[in-house]
Copies of this chain bind each other. A is one copy, B any other.
């Protein structure tokens, strides 16, 4: 049994994480929130008070910390006696926070792959360049580190594992499809930090097919997926974290990620990219001011958290998994549907933050209970998916299955 949680980060996902931890503080014990800017943490804690989210009386505290500074994170973990760290800060701080967990013995959970701010795209498998280099050390020291435990990566990794274990002898392909059919009513906005959002789509698209890494350009390969609830949706093959671990665990399968984009998003993205406005390299204005264009684009776009009050519609994210069972071809679609308005009503968040923030709390509950306290480094598909689904069913992200693939017999995962 581990207890006392430190949440790193104070953005939209952190808001969901702190609310869900508060709603389950009987499991977690003390809850601490830390980021570079103390006032952001305090603002999030105020929303917890407003929603009366704490299940029982207990500790809920804000802290200032520079998560790029391992020693500072170590000091904080020791001071508050945290045994679980949920890192939902910027993707740039994974390695420093992980190092702090290794040093203190705390369990580590994150929701996205480590990124180097100076690099747009890395050679696959991306985890191999950062987190996995610490795998042996985690095993040796008995440190639990759960990588990529958001929705995608995270829940979709568990969807793949579940589909393969339950329905197949052999897996031949895993297609992860992420559709946001919501409407925020703005001319254009990104659903999370524009700086990170655009970085996902400016590099090479890596997929794992026919036993090797394949490369494509963004928006080169598109396909309409007839999704449950949200209906036919255009999506494009994109690079994404989970491809880099699923391909290592299931090298015999094709592993692809598909992100839904409307024509309008693609048009705005294409204009900005072609003009050079998504560049993280500084330019010089006529007046001699050095400016990073991407940071200006971020400054003019709506703050993702500002979208929440007027966001309507649903997301549908799932895995179409194909394989063989007793020599016959089989396929199954494992998925979740979430609703923007329901997320706002419960937590004051939009649906994208909700889907990303609930799973690491479920993972943390399983670490707390011991079921996922692996004493080593794990990607989510390397852990039993069923207790994960059971908790998520209860705390807001139920898992469903279509037997026979998209449009097949629809049921709860445990029906």
Rounded to whole Å, the gap between the CB of A202 and the closest CB of chain B is 15
Instruction: Let me know if A412 is at the binding interface, CB within 8 A.
Output: no
Q: Residue of B at shortest CB range from A290?
A: B289
Rounded to whole Å, the gap between the CB of A93 and the closest CB of chain B is 15
> A272 CA to B300 CA in the complex, in Å?
10
Instruction: Let me know if A284 is at the binding interface, CB within 8 A.
Output: yes
Rounded to whole Å, the gap between the CB of A227 and the closest CB of chain B is 28
> A285 CA to B194 CA in the complex, in Å?
12
Q: Is the CB of A271 within 8 A of B272?
A: yes
> A285 CA to B294 CA in the complex, in Å?
10
Q: Is the CB of A297 within 8 A of B275?
A: yes
Residues of A265-317 whose CB lies within 8 A of B: 267-268, 271-272, 274-277, 279, 283-287, 289, 291-293, 295-301
Q: Mark A244-271, 1 if CB is under 8 A from B, else 0.
A: 0000000000000000000000011001
> A403 CA to B133 CA in the complex, in Å?
80
Rounded to whole Å, the gap between the CB of A90 and the closest CB of chain B is 11
Interface residues on A, range: 20 to 34
Q: Is the CB of A289 within 8 A of B295?
A: yes
B residues within 8 A CB of A292? 285
B residues within 8 A CB of A272? 271, 275
Q: Is the CB of B298 within 8 A of A291?
A: no
Copies of the chain in the assembly: 2
Residues of A159-196 whose CB lies within 8 A of B: 187-188
Rounded to whole Å, the gap between the CB of A131 and the closest CB of chain B is 26
B residues within 8 A CB of A188? 271, 274-275
Q: Is the CB of A300 within 8 A of B293?
A: yes
Given A293-B296, A296-B291, A296-B296, A301-B285 contact (CB < 8 Å): no
> A289 CA to B296 CA in the complex, in Å?
9
Given A277-B277, A289-B291, A291-B291, A283-B296 contact (CB < 8 Å): yes
> A289 CA to B293 CA in the complex, in Å?
12
Q: Is the CB of B286 within 8 A of A275?
A: no
Q: Residue of B at shortest CB range from A195?
A: B286
Q: Is the CB of A275 within 8 A of B301?
A: yes
Q: Mark A348-369, 1 if CB is under 8 A from B, else 0.
A: 0000000000000000000000
Q: Is the CB of A285 within 8 A of B298?
A: yes
> A275 CA to B269 CA in the complex, in Å?
11
B residues within 8 A CB of A275? 187-188, 268, 272, 297, 300-301
> A210 CA to B194 CA in the complex, in Å?
49
Q: Residue of B at shortest CB range from A279?
A: B300
| Most chain B CB atoms below 10 A, which of A271, A276, A283, A298 | A271
Q: Could you tell me which A residues sit within 8 Å of B by CB distance?
A: 187-188, 267-268, 271-272, 274-277, 279, 283-287, 289, 291-293, 295-301
**What are the 5 A-B residue pairs with the smallest beta carbon separation, nearest first?**
A276-B300, A283-B299, A271-B271, A285-B295, A187-B274
Since A285-B292, A293-B300 are in contact, a sample of 13 more A-B pairs with Cβ atoms closer than 8 Å, ordered by chain A residue number, is A187-B274, A187-B275, A188-B271, A267-B267, A267-B271, A268-B275, A272-B275, A283-B296, A283-B299, A285-B296, A289-B291, A291-B299, A293-B299
